[in-house]
Structure 1
Amino acid sequence: MSRHNKLSRVSALTTFTLFCLPACSARSIDIPRKICDTPVAQNLAAPLLKSTGKLSEWHTAGWGEKGRSVCIVSVDRSEALRLRFSWHTDTIDPMKYSSLDNSVTGLWEPRRIHRLAESATLGDNGSIATTHCAGKWNFTLALKVTRDRKIVHQRKAIENFMRAYMPATMKAVGCTHP
């Protein structure tokens, strides 16, 4: 192969790379300003949704009413986050529901966390927080990161998200932060 042909191929590859990479690279998702109807800073949600593709939400029937409801955030039809919102009259210990043998909200390496709600736990793959609201009602929020079950040690990103998301959700549903 002549030197001219080699230079032409290198030049063509360089031109392709310069023009195609920005357009041909994987598209990143647009992080919403609200997750499950609650405003949250995009920089707090981004680490939990780290991926590419189209973002969507699915809510159970009765969304926003007292009782239990679920909101699932998906990226390209793959579940990334599962949030459970629960209104109840009894008080609960989030540590009981954080146990890994709890199939619904089991967390990896759960520990109690303070100054998030009246009672809260934090794990490597989620968090559960509960607090008293007006009258006889208590409110519990359980977050589970389900995007990639092999990825662990997201504790700091989950804590940062929950420290903003729980108070914002409590405000939206009419509870006051302790």
Structure 2
Amino acid sequence: MRALTPALAVFALAAVASCSGAPDEDIPRRICGTKISPEITRPLIGRTGAFNEYSRLDNKSAQTAPCDLLLDEKPVMSFRFAWSSDQVDPMKYADAESTDSVSNLIEPRRTRDRYKSVVGDDGAMATVACEKAGESHFTLTMKLPDATKPDTQLRGDIEKFMTAYMNATVKEFGCRSR
């Protein structure tokens, strides 16, 4: 019976590891030009494979552009980096019921952080006053095309990711707040 104990322990560890999502070393440490902890990203991706990006982003300009994180050539995180001269109300542009929506978030709700932000069941949108290349506001939208977890499981992870990613992106772009 003692000989089986180490084997069972190894089996139990393997089972736990396979259920906990992708290991940190398999998750990108930089997404769309921004450094981000794999620990924060892992709950939103959950699996590993061949990561790649499709990007039209140029962090030197203030041009609106998409960037997708691809896993096995399929988008798992879609970003929209947008610049404007006017302040944006994320709720107006996030709600799938709005005719002005650019993100079509499911059940968006305002959050309480240093940015004007909304978080939905499948993504988030945040905006901040930020001067760059003649524009004065930066808005970031992140969507999870394959979001399947219920709101109570995913919304907190989305908010945590978006806050960290927005902080790092604003720093990476070298924005100056007014």
Number of positions where the alignment pairs a residue of Structure 1 with one of Structure 2? 155
Query: What is the root-mean-square deviation in Å for CA atoms of aligned residues?
Result: 2.6
Partner of 1:145: 144
SS of alignment partner, residue 156 of structure 2: helix
> Radius of gyration: which is bigger?
1
Tell me the distance in 2 between the aligned counterparts of 1:39 and 1:150: 26
In structure 2, the gaps of 5 or more residues are 1-6
The answer as to 2:160 corresponding to 1:171 is no
TM-score, normalised via structure 2 length: 0.76
SS of alignment partner, residue 133 of structure 1: strand
SS of alignment partner, residue 137 of structure 1: strand
Partner of 2:111: 113
8 A contact 1:72–1:81 mirrored in 2: yes
SS of alignment partner, residue 112 of structure 2: coil
Mark the CA change 1:152 to 1:175 in structure 2 (over 3 Å): closer, same or farther: farther
The answer as to 2:45 corresponding to 1:49 is yes
**1:125-154 Cα deviation digits (max 9, x unpaired):** 1110001012751000001111x2444421
**1:33-54 Cα deviation digits (max 9, x unpaired):** 1111101111001111112311
In structure 1, the gaps of 5 or more residues are 1-13
Partner of 2:63: 67
Tell me the distance in 2 between the aligned counterparts of 1:93 and 1:121: 9
- 1:72-151 alignment runs, 5 A limit: 72-101=68-97, 104-117=102-115, 119-134=116-131, 136-146=135-145, 148-151=146-149
SS of alignment partner, residue 28 of structure 2: coil
Tell me the distance in 2 between the aligned counterparts of 1:137 and 1:172: 16
Identity %: 37
* TM-superposed deviation, 1:116: 3.7
* TM-superposed deviation, 1:177: 7.0
SS of alignment partner, residue 117 of structure 2: strand
Runs (4 or more) in structure 1 with deviation over 4 Å come to: none
One-letter code aligned to 2:139? T
* TM-superposed deviation, 1:175: 2.3
